[in-house]
Structure 1
Amino acid sequence: MSQNLSSVPSTASPPTTAPQRLHHLDALRGGALLLGVLLHALMPFLPGDLWLVSDTHDSWGALGAVGVIHLFRMILFMMLAGYFGHMVLHRRGAGSYVRDRLMRIGLPLVVFLPGLFVLVIGAVQLNATVRGLGPLTPPPPPSGAPTGILALPTLHLWFLLLLLEIVLVVVVVRAVLVRLLGTVRAERASLRIASALSSPFGLLLVAAPYALALVVQGGNGAGITEPTTLVPVAGASITYGAAFLAGWFLRAHPDALNRLQRQWIPQLAIAVVLSPLALLAPASTPPALVAVLAAFAGWAWVYGLLGLTGRLVGREIPWVRYLADSSYWVYLIHFPLLLLVEVPLADLALPLLVKLAVALVVVMAVLLVSYDLVVRSTWLGKWLNGHRRPRALFGSRRQREERVTEPA
């Protein structure tokens, strides 16, 4: 299959020189992953004891923060995955792109998930033992839930499986369309779509699949339900597949990011106004209206943050780049560590912000140190990030000053 895909002509001429690195997109991608760590750190404080480790403090502010993050974080990540995916495919070919995604997305899912699952179970058991909650009794599966191997939980790595599914579908469909339409017509169509997405009315186009997915999903909520097993979920597949395609097509227009950058103020204004309307809508509000408000709010955050970071991060900022490089490792490993740290904090009579800060500082310190020592300059860094870099925290001065050529 790789040979057939690789032979499909590109819809854009590959550059003769390495393109300028888009530092603000690197920062956004890393920020989307690190926001996931913050989101999980806030979960113990949600009213209703819904999390694996529930804190004695309940906070509606934490619920609001989680709701806002959930509106846009994953569509931002998937949109950037589509943007960078388009870039890699047109630079290296479809076959190389698929192999790279299998190695850096599919293989980490297979390798890391079993150990993470064991650690999560251990953390939950520790929570029950230390806090005298009694023996663990897993809830009965809902009606119609998958069974057998399909019921395997994907934890916080569900997005890797979904992203890999999206990549494979997009590459195959693209190959078919290029064969049917021809290179020139396919390129023109991509440019027209990218122009529409980056226009002042582009928000209408990108928000439509999100709103549709919420309606298909059912209920009256503003957030997309994530798949928790190997079985795809329609709402998530629609929303995040469309987000990936939005990034894919935006990459086809040379001025798309600049056009969006000029819209950042009105986009963030829309996001700030619509987010509370979507998240605080009364139960009597029609579900379709909630879906529209949430979709517009989520994508307005994405477009607004794209523009804002484009203005703020126009060059490489060392500490931002370091966090962006480490974010994949941090997100892969953080979940059970965060649960373990939250167990001894849960019953302490400390302010919420103090508990949150302690949990984040401890977990991030452990993960950033481990990234610098065992990932950044080793084969793990090559595997996960596509390159090795000199240690920055514990390396020698010569290593820290060493210049590393960017990967092609």
Structure 2
Amino acid sequence: MTATAVRLHYLDRVRVLLTVLVVLHHVALTYGSFALWYFHEPSMGTPSPPGEWDRLLDLFLLLNQTYFMGLFFLISAYLVPGSYDRKGGRRFLADRMIRLGIPLILVVFAVVPLAKLPSYRMRNARAPAPYLDFYLRELEQGPGWFLVTLLAFVAAYTAIRALGPAPRQRSATALRARTIIGFAVLLAVLGIAWRVLLPGVHIPVLQLPVPEYLPQYVCMFTAGLIAYRRGWLATISAHATGWGFAVAALAVVTLLPLALGGADASGDRLLLTRVAHGLFDGVYCVGMSLGILGLFSRRFAGAPTPVGRFMSANAYAVYVLHAGVLVVVSVAISGLPAGALTKFVLATALSLPLCWVVAAIVRTAPVGRLVL
């Protein structure tokens, strides 16, 4: 059997998990220390009572950021070669433009402006201004950065395929330890180089929230393309799965303290911090990605249940629409006298099912089902 003939149901479940993590990530931004979300309660809403466990949200954000979008790019890339082979270059690229471009327009012109309404209300209370001026000035990609970046990667893949010979079909091969270690080293080296040589550099057009992860995203997307041809995602062993999680845990204990220990550092200490952070990013990303893929490939490989099909079918729409849903929920519970961790749990419990319900409703429209 060729590598391209295998249908991996478990990847749909991993995609659902990653979508849930995206929602949780932004819920954590709502109540954590980083004021990087459209509604940040510590600075915009009713201040919540302080809690000694609230810093867990910041730790979750740091660990989550290190791997979950990279794994999203890997899975997205895994689906690219087969689609290109079936459709040909022009039709494939046109379909991707529709599938990614129209949701991006929806995010920029509808979802993000809805999510920014609390910010407008605050600014308007201090200095009244027409909403149209605010709307036009504040247009941005928001979570749509992933769609823009993925579209850029897909366009590059299409151009390379158009210029070169068709890839050879291969039989499924085992994912070897030396391949995994080599890839982790590559991610670490590129991550260190970026943090040391290009600190603080922003990428125009893509608007990455954390530009330091661009090398990781490129490598993970490329790995997904190669994994499809060689059948690697169907051959992850239980042994490799356990090692993946173990290495990720070890990186948290040994490398993360060094990476976070130089907030006010300079000179050699700052250099050590950046090297440790780049090394941690590479090791933790590979460890967590390998662990999750291996776990799901062994435990959740069967045909989907009706609930599973519902979750998977609407996961992409949840990604596109979740920002507006989350902000509505967060504003609704902002007056509750509870700590940040309690509100994180409550907002998560309310937002996740509501996101899937809203996504399913939007997808009942013909256009919604076509692009989402």
Interval containing the TM-score (normalised by the shorter chain): 0.7 to 0.9
Instruction: Look up the match of 1:206.
Output: 183
Residue-by-residue CA offset, 1:81-131 (whole Å, 9 max, x unaligned) = 1111122122332323212211101221123311123212212234667xx
Structure 1 residue 206: Cα displacement: 2.5
Are the counterparts in 1 of residues 33 and 58 from structure 2 also a CA contact under 8 Å? yes
Deviation at 1:155, TM superposition (A): 0.6
Higher helix share: 2
Contact kept, 8 Å, 2:20 with 2:352, in 1: the verdict is no
343 and 200 in structure 1: CA distance in 2 versus 1, 3 angstrom threshold: same
Aligned Cα RMSD in Å? 3.5
Over 3 Å counting, the alpha-carbon distance change for 1:235 and 1:65 in structure 2 is closer
Structure of higher RCO (CA pairs closer than 8 Å, 6+ residues apart): 2
Instruction: Spell out, residue by residue over 1:346-403, the C-alpha distance to the aligned partner (whole angstroms, 9 max, x if none).
Output: 453224443123322332333322333341574412322xxxxxxxxxxxxxxxxxxx
Q: Does 1:244 align with 2:231?
A: no
Q: TM-score, normalised by structure 1?
A: 0.73
**1:234–1:127 CA distance, 2 compared to 1 (3 A):** closer
1:301 aligns with 2:288: yes
Gaps of 5+ in 2: 43-47, 130-135, 263-268
Within the alignment, does 1:155 sit opposite 2:132 as a pair?
no
Q: What's the counterpart of residue 187 of structure 1?
A: 168
Aligned equivalents of 1:376 and 1:272: distance in 2?
42
Q: Does 1:23 align with 2:9?
A: yes
Deviation of 1:167 (Å): 0.7
What does 1:305-384 correspond to in 2, within 5 Å?
Answer: 305-315=292-302, 316-376=304-364, 378-384=366-372
Deviation at 1:262, TM superposition (A): 4.7
Structure 1: how far apart are the matches of 2:58 and 2:288? 18
Q: 1:174 aligns with which of 156, 161, 168?
A: 161
Q: 1:127 to 1:323 in 2, by over 3 A?
A: farther
CA contact (8 A) 1:82 1:248 kept: yes
TM-score by length of 2: 0.80
Instruction: Give the distance between the partners of 2:34 and 2:352, measured in 1 at CA.
Output: 27
Query: Structure 1 residues 205, 107: CA separation in 2 closer, same or farther (over 3 Å shift)?
Result: farther
How do 1:247-258 and structure 2 match up within 5 A?
247-254=224-231, 256-258=233-235
Counterparts of residues 39-188 of structure 1 (less than 5 Å): 39-47=25-33, 49=35, 51-52=37-38, 53-55=40-42, 56=48, 57=50, 59-126=54-121, 134=126, 153-178=140-165, 183=166, 186-187=167-168
Deviation at 1:324, TM superposition (A): 1.9
After superposition, the Cα gap between the structure-2 partners of 1:213 and 1:20, relative to the gap in structure 1 and judged at 3 Å, is: closer
Q: For residues 214 and 121 of structure 1, do their structure 2 counterparts lie closer, same or farther at Cα, with a shift above 3 Å needed?
A: same
1:215 matched to 2:192: yes
153-162 or 58-67, which deviates more: 58-67
* Aligned positions of 1:207-286 closer than 5 A: 207-218=184-195, 229-230=205-206, 235-254=212-231, 256-260=233-237, 262-281=239-258, 282-283=261-262, 284=269, 285-286=272-273
Contact 1:211–1:295 at 8 Å: present in 2 too? yes
